[in-house]
A and B are shown apart, each in its own frame.
Chain A
Amino acid sequence: MTLSNQVLSEVEYNVVGKRPVRPDGVDKVTGRAQYGADVKLTGLLHAKVLRSPHPHARIRSIDTGKAEALPGVKAVITAKDLPFAALSREELGGDYNRLKFASDHMLASDKVLYKGHPVAAVAAVNAHVAESALALIEVDYEPLEAVVDVRAAMRDDAPLLHAELRTSSMGEIGDKPSNVAAHLSYEKGDVEQGFGEADVVVERELTTASVHQGYIEPHNSTAFWNTDGQLNLWTSTQGAFAVRAAVADVLRLPVSRIKVTPMEIGGGFGGKITAYLDAIAATLSQKAGAPVKQLMTRAEVFEASGPAPGSWMKVKVGAKNDGRLTAVQLEVAMDAGAYPGSPVMQAMTCAFACYDVENGKVDGYDVVVNKPKTAAYRAPGSPQAAFGVETVMDELCQQLGLDPIDFRLLNAAKEGTRRIEGPVARRIGFVECLEAARDHDHYRTPPEGENSGRGVAAGYWMNRGFQSSCVITVNFDGTVSLIMGSVDIGGTRASIAQQAAETLGIAYEDVKPMVVDTDSIGFTFITGGSRTSFATGLAAIEAAESVKAQMVSRAAKIWDAAEDDVEYADGAVRHKSDPELRLGFKDLARQLATTGGTVAGQSNVDPAGEGNSYAVHLADVQVDPDTGKTEVTRYTAIQDAGKAVHPSYVEGQIQGGAVQGIGWALNEEYYFDNSGRMMNPTFLDYRMPTSLDLPMIDTVIVEVANSGHPYGVRGVGEVPIVPPMAAIANGIHEATGLRLRSLPMTPGKILEEQWERNGG
């Protein structure tokens, strides 16, 4: 912990809340940890994918003959090799479109919908031969007009991506094809009346660009079929069971015939939930009769795996002169990429969740465009919405002459606040976060330097529960094995082991956590949604409680006592009335072998009670008036973690989220040419911030216990990416007087705004 990081704790525990070394840390920093690229099998073939050079085109034909004849090539596949090609519309009924989209996303059949869309794949003795073979595949395309802008795609005369896609408006299906896949609307109170009561109304339109999650490890997958028809996959994923389900769906296999082993993962941030390569590697492996490994290049990661969506928003807010909000409204359209499924619903849900307002309306549109299908990215949908809402709220504060934190405290969501989509908030820590921000040294010290300013913004993420399984077995040396299906991205081996250790009353070092394959543990949902320390932690706690009950039973057996007379406390079993009878956990573990064998606790959970997360960020920026370059000079992120199980990893999540948000604010964007081709698919041209670009991100962990968890845990991983874009935009305004309403806020955009304001 550094002095710039604070933890405002309410409750102390023995293990939870401490900062032990992570179990996988040494292997990861010494190169021993096994990632997908490290998988080596006898007779391993290497695969490459031929991808579309066009953002939108019809496939007239594909000729793979020359590629198949190349020495060293063992298999070539196209969409015709996927099961969908042999299935009829009659057989699939209402599932036709869904499966066509899933199958075509793996390998395009009749149309390519983005530059980088897979059209064929080759397995060969090495990657060089595979790549040479790609050049021999002849694809005859009929290029079509592309559309990459979400608003342009919504127009009646826009080029259509899918001839059969019609707008679904909560079950009502549109009468003509459209790129708008879905429209959803929620309203609370009466917004017209609310705006009528306002003394000040601010209404603005804003846009955000597509950005990538930027994980350091590219996608990879290795597939191999046993002779009995069992498919084995080794892959980099946030959810082994999600990969199993996706591959089973596209390859029409029962899930029991697929075993997925999640390798160590080099970052995901939501982008490693989709299974891009696994079905291709599996199909190639089946055709070649050998194991097949496939790795994406960095350019493939950018061009063919999901970015976060670009968006357009119209935000309207109204308030009385005293700052009390009277009405809020958001219209938001998000691009889903080539197939439906943008996080626009999340944007609608999160947009005004920081505010207690009587009248509100949100409308969201899910729109397909000629870009790679979007994927989740850390609090998907919420950062875009917060950029819109929090910058407009800042403008409202400015017009009313109110301090931005006082304004938010006046209107803050709290326990009992009814959100626009309906449900009522439970105990949440937004007010506590605002108070911590107001009282922080950062907020009490003016920003330093010329042309500098400070921005404040808030953010919300609902967090999630979903299903998790855990098994805890007691070893005869008194340690326990903690077996789980949650992939460890941000230190969850440690955070879940801590909860198991706390519950058992044993040392953290005596818990050996391991992440296993889909055949070795019960169904476990993805590591995502800020759910893992909460939900898998709950599973570990329940499994530990089962172990405790069995240890009590075993001690009673040894002492020939009634179980009711024995209790478990402080990592030991003891007789309630005979102080002579006491066995520490390790002492009892040593006797298990001769008194009936090992003890194992198991738990499957699907919990409710996930606590919502709130964050408040303070950003100081300095803007060079000559170049338009924005430098972040000081940054503090305040967040309610419920209970920080491992504060260092919570701080890491907060800092990482803030840094990704700063990149999104200032630099990062998918840049498309006029025909819709991404022009910057490298880390040189897609500029993410580095440690040299940024100050230390100071953190404050606020702990307002979540009543849905025994230790008060809330998810922490996602909300820190929500406020940065708005915080920096508001800081730029204070520094320059300019309101930037389009992300990223590049030097060019700032100069253009400056020139426009100054009359050229």
Chain B
Amino acid sequence: MSTIVKNIVRFCVLILFQVYVLDKIRLHQMVTPYIYFIFILWLPFKINRTLLMLLSFILGMTLDSFRHHPGFHAAACVLMAYVRPFIINLMIPQEGAETNYEEPSFRSMGGMLPYLIYSGLLILLHNSWLFLLEAWQFADVWYFFLKTLLSTAIGLLLVLITELLFSRNQKFKTNTI
């Protein structure tokens, strides 16, 4: 499957899963389970940064249009997309690893831990920016922190489960063609 088709399918499936499965689960008011941003986590290494931000913006706006108040998730997703290349640069094990594999995964990031740190940091950014925008003030700082941390933990758990369930077998590409 070509990269474009694969990503379009992912986009639709993730949005529908987020809206009709995860949003219907009411765990607790402190925990909002999110998984749709795994679309951004899984985009190829070599994607143009402008395109990356644009795609994330569209992803966020799509989710927002299901929730009838535009802007919140779009802003959080764009922040994620902007920071993603920096974190990949920090986490990538050796020079040239991003040319050997197509997209971030356990294998291409060189193990489970770097990948989880990569996704954890991005999820934390997404959640804190989202909840900050939603609350629009720092009135209840502890509430905000606790909600962000708990939601990030659940988000990370969901990402881990998704990774283990849908193992993406990526071929090792040599750059000596």
- Whether chains A and B associate is no
